[in-house]
């Protein structure tokens, strides 16, 4: 932390700042310039609410050195983390790109099995589907709950695909963990810290989606919650942020891919289905995500999108999914990887 | 819902859309123009995922008629809702403006009692303070938990002020409800729908904060969750949204006040402390909030802001709070109300 | 400027940074810590594109000290600037709040005179109206040009109200300056630096509107352009920023008022008509603006809003304007000022 | 346009709306439902300021059918527009992807020639460089003006590369057109409609950059200004939008590529240098842009980025540029195109 003093700061004010920082265990480097004095404070940011320093008399500005996260940072762990979704499917590292696909929500037994077959046939290596659905309206379909989890497990049994499904409530941790191979924390719960702490106590992989208006730093801080509880199997997911643009449902922020790769060792997947909200934008953005360095994709695929109970307009039909998978292979190869 | 067909839509495509809508129980109004056909669909939006209509062949655009909320709408209930915080303190309706004040987090017994005295002396009618704190870093102070709730209860006993405190986790509903007079749902949990359902089952007043990047419509939909479970004692709180502007911590959106007043019957309070993040902006924005029609204010007040464990830089010192209370009285009077 | 070196930065890298900065005339303060070295560079930011420092080997982060502006800053000039709109109307300083009102665009001679009478009768002290209109569609009404300026001048003659009108093009500086008492630079031209330089060469007051997505710092930098050319008669105008919220046309950012007051000595007016886009939100936000400390308001008033050629939905009818003026007087008085 | 009447709208109110619309030349389709009446109005949106309809008594909501643009729309011209930058270089259509590269600003004769050689050697087919620079501070380097244009012309002579350079002021149209092969309208001038009208009168290709906070629809409307004046040689450029994320300078919005391709026939280029503001993000985002379907790239390349007078931190060194060009070839091939 760097504290820049006002031009007219008195020696007493400077001393006061220094003493206050020392009290909180910071090491101090004082730099008196012609115009201003600058105080460098070195130590653990978590020991003090730094903003309070801003209020001390004579302080002009407090500058935080970025990167408050630790365990998730590439400085802490220079090697890419590899997360195992099942015995045969892993994500992270340099080569294999993982495609997770399936319907937005689990709608029924027959529909789920059908979707799973479509995913497998097209080359997907993991199955997604929500049994607990966070819906902005209380009057919308809220998911099948445990029944949905059972259908997912059945689909896994038939196809061998590991399953990724969302957890909404701390009270359901055990239930969801019993069925899921990967526990998804959705965008709306990215800063539900109690939920993060609970999945941090598990060993299961966690797929953590970026919040609609979360900075990349906040996403990494939320991942830090999980890692700090002991669970290092975290996959980050970019799924679109909220901007002023209204043509797309969200603005899929592919910049997040190289930024996260630089700052962290955790694998990154991209969800162009939620990210754009329109099925005909999914293909171009999926290819772009791979070209930008993503480790995987989450795609909404539905046997009959126009009958979907949620998010049908962003789901791919089987034949569109199959065609896209072929195109993704080519792009992956062009960047030295494979789907 | 209005479905606008493409200029080149065939009769078969139009019929298909109409049939699909009828199947979901919509009443249909067909309007064939020279250029385009427009299909009006009347019925309950919750019966179908409307977006899927957009995918049908020949459809140009689907237009949603705004206001998916019901119980919270002013159309449903034209009269202002009045919520009782205690036997003597009520919020909503035309006259009295309520000031809720206190520290960001409960830090200790002595500090809490001291803060409560400051609030009462200054003219605040309810006490705020967080015992469970949602912090973006796992290494920051996370609150005192039940111990903090006990200090709040003690402060209530001494001062008679009802207490407003945050609930983070569905597992703590009973615990927080045992102590709190008003349960606060924070900005990060505005779309934690499981939590909303739980507080919807209580009778206690709920203070629901707008999410950082939530539209006013989404805020009202989240309130709808609570009302639809049976709890009508909901207070809405504007506390700043996330924009590109970095000078302020958030952008306090005072436009939300008259907009909510128009759309809903629920009372609105404004939190200029979190909304701006800077104590010297709190005063002007508090006065502006009242001038714009707010029913109440939530202010951070701390006996010694520079020793606060959280958000000290946005907390008012006692003497600044007292001075502000005097100024607020004048502004309230100017708009025909009183503090 | 503060340069924070990487933990593993070598002495050679540190020296390289220092040398480079010295070369550009910066004074240097070196602070070697246990963990990192921090380089403070003191001098004129304009001498070097600071971002290039970020690229030097061993640099972790470059921190810019805020406030690149000079002439507009309150540090430079602690006293409020007072700008004269005419012999009898001045804006800025502590007491009088100025209401500028009129139609969005000049639509005809009769309409303009009628509007001017409405403004005067209601208590407005200056008249607004656009003769050159920046419209997002080439097919929308583009304004009457010089003819419109003439109608404005006529309205001034009849009512004595000084006129505020927009300038769009460097080629029209002379023309607009010939008629206008105050030259308005619209939101879309806030960073049209060539236009800013030209009005900077005049003596006429300039009303500079904040861009849709401009930070307060950028607004002040644009004002700096005008002052640096010699024209100190600048009025800043908050008129709404672009956010994700779609209920209002823009998000009127009243936080800007106290922030600008703190950073700069220039007067601030608020335009709640463009800021909200809805006439029934204008009143509450106008009152709030005054409570927050604005020095003036710009209001759209139209004798017959539903016949307006532009922005009718945000214009006040005469009787609504009159009523609002009465309410504004009360709020102004409550904050120790007068309308 | 669709007008949705209030549930309680009277027949007189409905008739009033209908009459008003007819008066403005709209064709009317009335649809009376059980709950509400819906009025469809067909005709030229430009004839009336539609927002004023919203104010009529009994109106609940007015819904605009999207796409107010005409000449730029794919409905108007289904085939991709191909714009010729020189006799041998064309952009648009299915195959060839065009790389435009060079320094942010023209800094000197020697530097410009050196940069041009680097661009040519690496495989760039057009040269960029600004002689007139829009800088947020009046104290920053403002460009070399005509001298810079001359250096660009010289570089063209030596290398054969057509030149792309920015125009800031209507007074300089002739001057810039004399030297440039392609006239760039920068992000800050995207809604400088007077400038758009002037370049619309030329035959020269215009590269129009998306504004920092402009929607895709607004970008297309600005292009419509140019086409409506007669110049059809317009290239659209995505260069990053402003969001809450601060890690990158802007948020490069690659979603814009497939969206524009769907809505318009004009070619699209992407500027990942300004879009991200960091040279090490340029490569991944450039590859992603091509995978998403861009017709070209604008890259900042500088022989010595750390000596650049502007935007050095986002410029590629020659060897990085060369390496990237090789990688781009592979990605282009994977999507059936070539660089």
Q: Do A29 and C29 lie within an 8 Å CB cutoff? A: no
Closest by Cβ to A213, choosing from B137, B213, B229: B213
**pLDDT score of A47:** 45
Mean pLDDT along residues B74-100: 93
For chain B, the average pLDDT equals 90
Are C297 and C272 spatial neighbours (Cβ–Cβ below 8 Å)?
A: yes
**pLDDT score of D239:** 97
Closest by Cβ to A29, choosing from C33, C66, C244: C33
User: Has residue D318 got a pLDDT over 80?
Assistant: yes
Which candidate in C257, C263, C284, C314 is best for mutational testing of the B interface (most B CBs within 10 A)? C284
Q: Do B4 and D4 lie within an 8 Å CB cutoff? A: no
Q: Do C248 and B255 lie within an 8 Å CB cutoff? A: yes
Query: Could you tell me which chains touch chain D, where touching means 3 or more CB pairs under 8 A?
Result: A, B, C
Banded model confidence at residue B32, pLDDT cuts 50, 70, 90: confident
Q: Which residue has the higher pLDDT, C206 or C304?
A: C206
* Residues contacting A332, CB < 8 A, separation 6+: A97, A290, A338, A339
Residue whose pair of structure tokens reads 């934690």 in the numeric block: B192
The pair of three-digit structure tokens given for residue C98, joined into one six-digit string: 């100025």
The continuous run of DSSP H or E covering D30 comes out as strand D27-32
Are A28 and A21 spatial neighbours (Cβ–Cβ below 8 Å)?
A: yes
Report the C-alpha gap between C303 and A198 in whole angstroms.
62
For chain A, the average pLDDT equals 90
Using a CB–CB cut-off of 8 Å, the residues of D that contact B are 2, 4, 27, 29-36, 38, 40, 42, 60-61, 63, 65-66, 75, 213, 242-244, 246
Q: Write out the E strands in chain A.
A: 2-5, 27-32, 37-42, 59-63, 83-84, 90-91, 98-102, 126-128, 163-166, 182-185, 206-209, 234-238, 268-270, 296-300
Interface contacts B/C by beta carbons within 8 Å: 120
**pLDDT tens-place string over residues B230-259:** 999 999 999 999 999 988 999 999 999 999
**pLDDT score of A49:** 58
Q: Do D51 and C141 lie within an 8 Å CB cutoff? A: no
**pLDDT score of C140:** 79
For residue A312, give Cα distances in angstroms to A309, A325, B58, B191, B221. 7, 19, 17, 22, 21
First to last CA, chain D: 43
Q: Do B224 and A140 lie within an 8 Å CB cutoff? A: no
Q: Do A243 and C246 lie within an 8 Å CB cutoff? A: no
Closest by Cβ to C31, choosing from A4, A29, A36: A29
**pLDDT tens-place string over residues D296-305:** 999 999 998 8
Q: Do C285 and B258 lie within an 8 Å CB cutoff? A: yes
**pLDDT score of A191:** 96
Alpha-helical regions (H) of C96-253: 109-122, 146-159, 173-179, 193-200, 216-228
**pLDDT tens-place string over residues D1-25:** 778 888 788 888 898 888 888 887 7
User: Has residue C166 got a pLDDT over 90?
Assistant: yes
**pLDDT score of C141:** 81
The pair of three-digit structure tokens given for residue B126, joined into one six-digit string: 């309810």
Mean pLDDT along residues C257-265: 96
* Residues contacting A19, CB < 8 A, separation 6+: none
Q: Which stretch of A264-273, C70-79, D118-127 has the lowest confidence by average pLDDT?
A: C70-79
Quick one: closest CA in A to B221, which residue? A137
**pLDDT tens-place string over residues C39-70:** 877 665 544 556 667 777 788 777 766 567 88
Quick one: closest CA in B to A310, which residue? B49
The CA dihedral of C281, C284, C290, C295, to the nearest 10 degrees, is: 20
Which candidate in B31, B41, B74 is best for mutational testing of the D interface (most D CBs within 10 A)? B31
**pLDDT tens-place string over residues D194-232:** 999 999 999 999 999 999 999 999 999 999 999 999 999
Sequence length of chain A is 339
For chain C, the average pLDDT equals 90
User: Has residue B47 got a pLDDT over 50?
Assistant: no
Other CB atoms within 10 Å distance of the CB of residue C76: 12
**pLDDT score of C47:** 45
Mean pLDDT along residues B151-173: 97
**pLDDT score of D47:** 45
Q: Do B40 and D32 lie within an 8 Å CB cutoff? A: no
User: Has residue D64 got a pLDDT over 70?
Assistant: no
Mean pLDDT along residues B132-138: 88
Max mean pLDDT among A329-338, B7-16, B67-76 falls in A329-338
Quick one: closest CA in D to A217, which residue? D247
Report the C-alpha gap between D115 and D136 in whole angstroms.
25
Alpha-helical regions (H) of chain D: 11-23, 109-122, 146-159, 173-179, 193-200, 216-228, 256-263, 272-276, 279-291, 318-334
Q: Do A138 and B54 lie within an 8 Å CB cutoff? A: no
Query: Which stretches in chain A have pLDDT values below 50?
Result: 46-47
Banded model confidence at residue D31, pLDDT cuts 50, 70, 90: confident
Q: What is the DSSP letter of D50?
A: G
Mean pLDDT along residues D274-301: 96
Banded model confidence at residue C33, pLDDT cuts 50, 70, 90: low
Q: Do A313 and B279 lie within an 8 Å CB cutoff? A: no
Q: Which residues of B touch A320 (CB under 8 A)?
A: none
What is the CA angle D285-D286-D292, rounded to 5? 85
**pLDDT score of A65:** 62
Quick one: closest CA in B to A51, which residue? B313
Quick one: closest CA in A to D288, which residue? A288
Are D214 and D226 spatial neighbours (Cβ–Cβ below 8 Å)?
A: no
Q: Which residue has the higher pLDDT, C250 or C43?
A: C250
User: Has residue C243 got a pLDDT over 70?
Assistant: yes
Q: Do B27 and D4 lie within an 8 Å CB cutoff? A: no
3-state secondary structure of D135: coil
Q: Which residues of D touch C273 (CB under 8 A)?
A: none
Report the C-alpha gap between A180 and A167 in whole angstroms.
10
Which candidate in D1, D38, D45 is best for mutational testing of the B interface (most B CBs within 10 A)? D38
Q: Which stretch of A225-234, A315-324, C113-122, D35-44 has the lowest confidence by average pLDDT?
A: D35-44
**pLDDT tens-place string over residues C173-215:** 999 999 999 999 999 999 999 999 999 999 999 999 999 999 9
CA distance A32 to chain B (A): 24
Closest by Cβ to A34, choosing from C7, C27, C242: C27
Q: Which residues of B touch A54 (CB under 8 A)?
A: 313
Phi, psi of D170 (to 5 degrees): -55, -30
The pair of three-digit structure tokens given for residue A300, joined into one six-digit string: 């909404």
**pLDDT score of D25:** 76
Residue A73, exposed/middle/buried by CB under 10 A (0-12, 13-18, 19+)? middle
CA distance D336 to chain A (A): 10
Quick one: closest CA in A to C29, which residue? A31
**pLDDT score of B136:** 84
**pLDDT tens-place string over residues D168-188:** 999 999 999 999 999 999 999
Q: Which residues of C touch D171 (CB under 8 A)?
A: 170-171, 194
What ipTM, to 2 d.p.? 0.88
Quick one: closest CA in B to C278, which residue? B259
Are A274 and A240 spatial neighbours (Cβ–Cβ below 8 Å)?
A: yes
**pLDDT tens-place string over residues B100-131:** 999 999 999 999 999 999 999 999 999 999 99
CA distance A134 to chain D (A): 24
**pLDDT score of B66:** 55
CA distance B192 to chain A (A): 7
User: Has residue D46 got a pLDDT over 70?
Assistant: no
């Amino acid at each position: 932390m760097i504290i820049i003093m006002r031009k007219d700061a008195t020696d007493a004010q400077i001393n006061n700042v220094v003493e206050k920082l020392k009290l909180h265990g910071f090491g101090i480097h004082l730099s008196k310039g012609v115009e201003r004095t600058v105080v460098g404070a070195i130590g653990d940011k978590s020991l003090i609410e730094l903003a309070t320093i801003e209020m001390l008399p004579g302080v002009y500005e407090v500058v935080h050195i970025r990167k408050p996260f630790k365990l998730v940072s590439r400085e802490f762990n220079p090697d890419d983390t590899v997360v195992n979704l099942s015995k045969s499917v892993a994500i992270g590292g340099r080569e294999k790109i993982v495609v997770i696909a399936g319907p937005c929500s689990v709608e029924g037994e027959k529909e789920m099995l059908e979707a799973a077959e479509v995913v497998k046939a097209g080359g997907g290596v993991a199955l997604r589907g929500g049994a607990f659905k966070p819906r902005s309206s209380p009057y919308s379909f809220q998911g099948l709950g445990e029944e949905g989890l059972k259908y997912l497990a059945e689909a896994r049994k038939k196809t061998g695909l590991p399953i990724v499904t969302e957890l909404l409530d701390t009270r359901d941790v055990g239930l969801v963990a019993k069925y899921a191979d990967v526990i998804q924390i959705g965008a709306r719960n990215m800063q539900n810290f109690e939920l993060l702490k609970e999945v941090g106590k598990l060993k299961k992989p966690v797929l953590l989606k970026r919040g609609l208006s979360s900075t990349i730093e906040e996403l990494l801080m939320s991942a830090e919650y999980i890692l700090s509880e002991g669970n290092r199997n975290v996959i980050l997911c970019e799924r679109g942020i909220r901007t002023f643009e209204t043509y797309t449902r969200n603005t899929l922020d592919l910049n997040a891919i190289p930024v996260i790769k630089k700052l962290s060792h955790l694998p990154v997947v991209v969800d162009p289905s939620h990210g754009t909200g329109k099925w005909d934008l999914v293909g171009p953005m999926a290819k772009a995500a791979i070209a930008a360095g993503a480790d995987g994709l989450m795609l909404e695929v539905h046997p009959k999108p126009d009958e979907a109970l949620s998010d049908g307009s962003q789901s791919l039909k089987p034949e569109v999914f199959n065609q896209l998978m072929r195109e993704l292979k080519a792009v992956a190869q062009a960047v030295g990887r494979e789907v």
